[in-house]
Amino acid sequence: MAPRTATDIGSALEALQRAGVLFRSGLHLEAAAIYRDVIRQRPRVPDVHNNLGVALKAAGHVADAVPCFRRAVRLKPDYVAAHANLATALEALERPLDGLEHRIDAWRLNPDDLEQRDALISALRRCPFDKPHAGARSVLTVLFERDDLDRQALASPAVRVWRAQPAIRRAVEAAAWGYPEREHPGSGFRPLTGFLPDELVLAALASAVIVDPEMEAAIVFTRRHLLSEVSTGRPANADLVWLTALALQARAVEWVWPETSEETADLRILDNRIGEPSPLSERVLVRALYRPMESDPMVDVLRREASMLRYDDASLWALLLRRSFLDTHAESRLEAEMPALTAIADDTSATVQAQYEENPYPRWLSTDRRPPRSLADHLRRVLPSAPLGRVPDGPMRILIAGCGTGRHAIQTARRYHDSLVLAVDLSRRSLAYAKRMARDLGVDNLTFGQADILALGQRADRFDLIESSGVLHHLSDPMAGWRVLRGLLAPGGLMRIALYSRRARAGFDDVRAVVPAEAPVIERVRAARRAVMSLPAGHPARALLRTADFYAASGVRDALLHVSETVVDPIWIDGALRELELRFVGFELPDPAILSLYRRHCRDDPSALDLSVWDAVEAERPDIFLGMYQFWCREA
């Protein structure tokens, strides 16, 4: 039946109601026709323009939706939803920079709206920034000032906005040209410290790992230049704030960058050149680009300086001293006090423990603080198509099995703030880092203990929720550990497990094959990084270049050089769940568009719960679980 016009209906209101009904029934173009009618008669109502845009976009006419949203925001400049809709439409048309303007408006109009903030941050992360962008610069500066945000997410856009300035871009590209061996011979290269220090890039260097191979090249050649100056007694004439931010970055990546034999020799010379009156000096900072400050020949002076810091000193120098001396000291004490809940008798567990004592993982510096929510609410967000049934409600007992350095455990404890969380790991150093961070962040419903999952079976307590992310695949027999965890699950409880995908990691063997087996760890890590950087374009392991893991020593060791690793596939997971009498509840997907791949294979399973179908989907797109199979399961 042809839609009636606004005049037929007699009132615009009635027409709008009818359009709403048509829209909800999926008749988007019919709804759009009514909105157009109404607009002809009442052209200045912003909501109707917005609704017309929504209807056209839903019908797949994204380009036609754009002018509708534009009219809506012109009529009502503080219309948050229309700005957000306009941004989404422009992003879908691959015009991310145009979209960003409206993401910024939508967030500025309502800065406490987490949805707008998340959308803004992901838009910033996707924008190419091939020229300077004042709007992005200004929102990033505001976002960096907040202490409830994961600054890792802000660092890449901050660096890209900064390096979009033509002179800086030339310097960075010249560095990247022959990295790691040498910079471009005809060199547009200039040490980064030759540019004015910039708040945005300083904040990024100080608070996150920079995920940008070209920027790494520029930092590495800058530090080489600084060392050659300072070790021969010449002043580097570098701004000390710049040097401090770079030293913080060197610390965050655990000094993973390549070092030539000349640099190693120059460092020895530098260590004999002490005696300057102030601890905050070019010599100390250039050395801190290569080695921990804790091993500086002037360590006693530096430690004293750290102990005298005012608690409200927010300078980068204070941050560097705090991280180098106060945090590490606090962690040593927490490590000594950490309770041992089980013995570590298994050989593989002992070997794995040794790796994470040397390289606690992951090295995180900040995390998002979000309002608490119930388990049911969380599951609805992460598994939108899963049939949930009954889930534990109210305070829960939660076990995090293999918590590493605690980021995930802290997020879980904050999310379910009225629950009690026990987080265990083999590595005492990782646990100490986790406990210090939990204490600094004021998370008090979380306790830590050293334990081997394999030995937890003797515990009498049971847990409503057990999370074990990136852990079971490091056991010599992952099923042995999973069986123990299954035995600890309370009736009606749920598990969230994450395991390595065989297909996603198949290309990693090409890297491992060229890494010397017997060299010291840092040499092996550097060899692995060099191998990844020289892989041809399109090689699956080059995906690592987009992960923070690749830019820090512990991350490379964890991802590529692990002492014990098993990879699985959906068919294996299916068999494991059957053996354990668990039911698959769904994958957390990095991109909801992946569900449409599943639906192409299997139309009549809206919950997407058939692991054999997932196996076929992954065979077609082997990269989709590069971030692991992250899934939920419960008693069958």
Question: Residue numbers of the site for ligand SAM (CB under 6 A)?
Answer: 349, 352, 356, 361-362, 402-404, 407-408, 424-427, 430, 452-454, 469-471, 474-475, 481, 558
Whichever of 9 and 466 has its CB closer to ligand SAM, that residue is: 466
Shortest separation between residue 507's beta carbon and ligand SAM, angstroms: 19
Whichever of 296 and 425 has its CB closer to ligand SAM, that residue is: 425
Bridge-based pairing of strands 489-499 and 446-450 is unpaired
Residue type, 231: S
Shortest separation between residue 437's beta carbon and ligand SAM, angstroms: 12
Shortest separation between residue 31's beta carbon and ligand SAM, angstroms: 45
Whichever of 274 and 521 has its CB closer to ligand SAM, that residue is: 521
Shortest separation between residue 402's beta carbon and ligand SAM, angstroms: 3
Token couple for 307 = 């102990």
DSSP 548-602: GGGGSHHHHHHHHS-SS---B-HHHHHHHHHHTTEEEEEEPPSSTTHHHHHHHH-
Shortest separation between residue 407's beta carbon and ligand SAM, angstroms: 6
Whichever of 323 and 407 has its CB closer to ligand SAM, that residue is: 407
Whichever of 99 and 402 has its CB closer to ligand SAM, that residue is: 402
Whichever of 270 and 497 has its CB closer to ligand SAM, that residue is: 497
Shortest separation between residue 438's beta carbon and ligand SAM, angstroms: 14
Whichever of 242 and 463 has its CB closer to ligand SAM, that residue is: 463
Shortest separation between residue 158's beta carbon and ligand SAM, angstroms: 24
Whichever of 161 and 628 has its CB closer to ligand SAM, that residue is: 628
Nearest to 573 by CA among 516, 506, 504, 500: 500
The whole-angstrom separation of Cα 52 and Cα 43 is 12
Q: Which residues contact 433 (CB under 8 A, 6 or more apart)?
A: 331, 360, 405, 406
Shortest separation between residue 427's beta carbon and ligand SAM, angstroms: 4
DSSP 202-246: HHHHHHS----HHHHHHHHHHHHHHHHHHHTT------HHHHHHH
Phi-psi sector, 234: left (phi>0), alpha (psi -120 to 50), beta: beta
Whichever of 168 and 471 has its CB closer to ligand SAM, that residue is: 471
Shortest separation between residue 394's beta carbon and ligand SAM, angstroms: 25
Whichever of 347 and 393 has its CB closer to ligand SAM, that residue is: 347
The whole-angstrom separation of Cα 514 and Cα 66 is 51
Nearest to 13 by CA among 50, 65, 37: 37
Bridge-based pairing of strands 582-587 and 629-635 is antiparallel
Shortest separation between residue 475's beta carbon and ligand SAM, angstroms: 5
The 10 Å Cβ neighbour count of residue 442 is 8
The whole-angstrom separation of Cα 329 and Cα 170 is 42
Burial (CB count within 10 angstroms: exposed 0-12, middle 13-18, buried 19+), residue 536: exposed
Shortest separation between residue 360's beta carbon and ligand SAM, angstroms: 7
94 to each of 5, 89, 97, 98, how far by Cα in Å? 35, 9, 9, 9
Whichever of 392 and 481 has its CB closer to ligand SAM, that residue is: 481
Residue type, 576: A
The closest residue (CB) to ligand SAM is 404
